[in-house]
């Protein structure tokens, strides 16, 4: 018997050293979970984990880049050795595309003029990263009595909302990178939910809302903690909870 195994719920949050991911980790830890804080930068991850511990929670930093399969495999191995299972996976890590290639290339995402390297970079993190991380951790999630997967998305993923010229998102610039990447996450969420439903693994997508984070230069009107609340709600669903859904704080988000 591994001496490190615990009855506490074990949650892994990717991109958890700042923003919505960090707020999610803080709230999950406050609820009594052991939280694994995934971060590309080990120093920033450890700083976030130390802050959670200082607040009375249990947290461990793991070096995790969702575009680097080696770090993903290492995280899965460490989690297996330390805890023997994973109960909650929050796929939060994501990029908007702004500044990811170069400021000139990433200035806009208008389809007719978009830089394809930037589009590829966004999909590599936001879509392929979700697949790679999820598949690496699935064997550990299958060992949980109540496994949950939450994919952090955006209202900009909604084809219904973004196609409405008079709707609340009418002011958004057309996007060939970020918005389509999050729409792809919605599609993946449904497909994973369909595959894993028989195993009792609940898989849902969430739209935290327009939160003030680095990705929008802190122009959002919600705090990361406010945005994280719906993520935490979906991460702690009971056995009769939904799967294959898309939710915001206001309730179901239209596809």
Mapped onto helix, strand or coil, the DSSP state of residue 222 is strand
Fold of 10-252: Rossmann fold (3.40.50)
Beta bridge partners of 209: none
Gap between the terminal Cα atoms of the chain: 45
So what's the pLDDT on residue 5?
Answer: 56
Tokens at 70, concatenated: 């080696």
Show me where the domains of the chain are located. Answer: 10-252
- Among 118, 195, 104, 113, residue whose Cα is nearest residue 149: 195
Active site residue 182: yes
Q: Look at the block and give the residue holding tokens 């709707």.
A: 167
Element (H, E) at 17: none
Mapped onto helix, strand or coil, the DSSP state of residue 58 is strand
pLDDT digits (tens, 9 = 90+) for 150-208: 999 999 999 999 999 998 888 888 999 999 999 999 999 999 999 999 999 999 999 98
Give the pTM: 0.92
Given the residues 18, 178, 192, 198, the one annotated as active site: 178
CB-based burial label for 31 (10 Å; 0-12, 13-18, 19+): middle
**Cα–Cα dist 85/248, whole Å:** 28
Mean pLDDT to the nearest integer, 11-22: 93
Rg over alpha carbons for the chain, rounded to the nearest Å, is: 17
Mean pLDDT to the nearest integer, 234-244: 97
Centre a 10 Å sphere on the Cβ of residue 225 and count the other Cβ atoms it contains.
15
So what's the pLDDT on residue 107?
Answer: 53
200 φ/ψ angles, rounded to the nearest 5 degrees: 80, 15
Q: Where are the beta strands (DSSP E) in 2-137?
A: 10-13, 34-39, 58-63, 88-91
- Give the residue with greater pLDDT, 213 vs 157: 157
**Cα–Cα dist 208/15, whole Å:** 15
- Among 28, 69, 70, 68, residue whose Cα is nearest residue 52: 28
Active site residue 198: no
pLDDT digits (tens, 9 = 90+) for 81-135: 999 999 999 999 999 886 544 444 335 799 999 999 999 999 999 999 999 999 9
Mapped onto helix, strand or coil, the DSSP state of residue 52 is helix
Q: Between the CA of residue 245 and those of 154, 188, 202, 221, 248, what are the distances in Å? A: 13, 11, 9, 25, 10
């Amino acid at each position: 018997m591994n001496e490190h195994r615990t009855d506490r719920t074990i949650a892994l949050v990717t991109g958890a050293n700042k923003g919505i991911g960090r707020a999610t980790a803080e709230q999950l830890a406050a609820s009594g979970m052991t939280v694994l804080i995934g971060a590309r930068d080990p120093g920033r991850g450890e700083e976030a984990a130390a802050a959670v511990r200082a607040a009375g929670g249990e947290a461990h930093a793991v070096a995790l880049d969702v575009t680097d399969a080696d770090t993903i495999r290492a995280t899965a191995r460490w989690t297996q050795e330390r805890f023997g299972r994973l109960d909650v996976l929050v796929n939060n890590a994501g990029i908007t595309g702004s500044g990811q290639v170069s400021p000139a290339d990433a200035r806009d995402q208008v389809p007719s003029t978009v830089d394809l390297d930037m589009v590829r970079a966004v999909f590599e993190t936001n879509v392929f990263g979700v697949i790679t991380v999820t598949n690496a951790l699935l064997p550990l999630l299958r060992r949980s009595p109540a496994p949950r997967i939450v994919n952090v998305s955006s209202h900009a993923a909604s084809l219904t909302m973004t196609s409405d010229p008079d709707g609340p998102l009418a002011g958004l610039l057309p996007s060939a990178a970020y918005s389509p990447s999050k729409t792809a996450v919605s599609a993946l969420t449904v497909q994973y939910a369909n595959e894993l439903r028989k195993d009792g693994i609940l898989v849902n997508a969430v739209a935290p809302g327009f939160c003030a984070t680095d990705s929008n230069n802190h122009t959002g009107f919600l705090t990361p903690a406010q945005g994280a609340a719906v993520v935490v709600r979906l991460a702690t669903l009971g056995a009769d909870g939904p799967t294959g859904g898309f939710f915001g704080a206001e309730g179901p988000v239209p596809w």
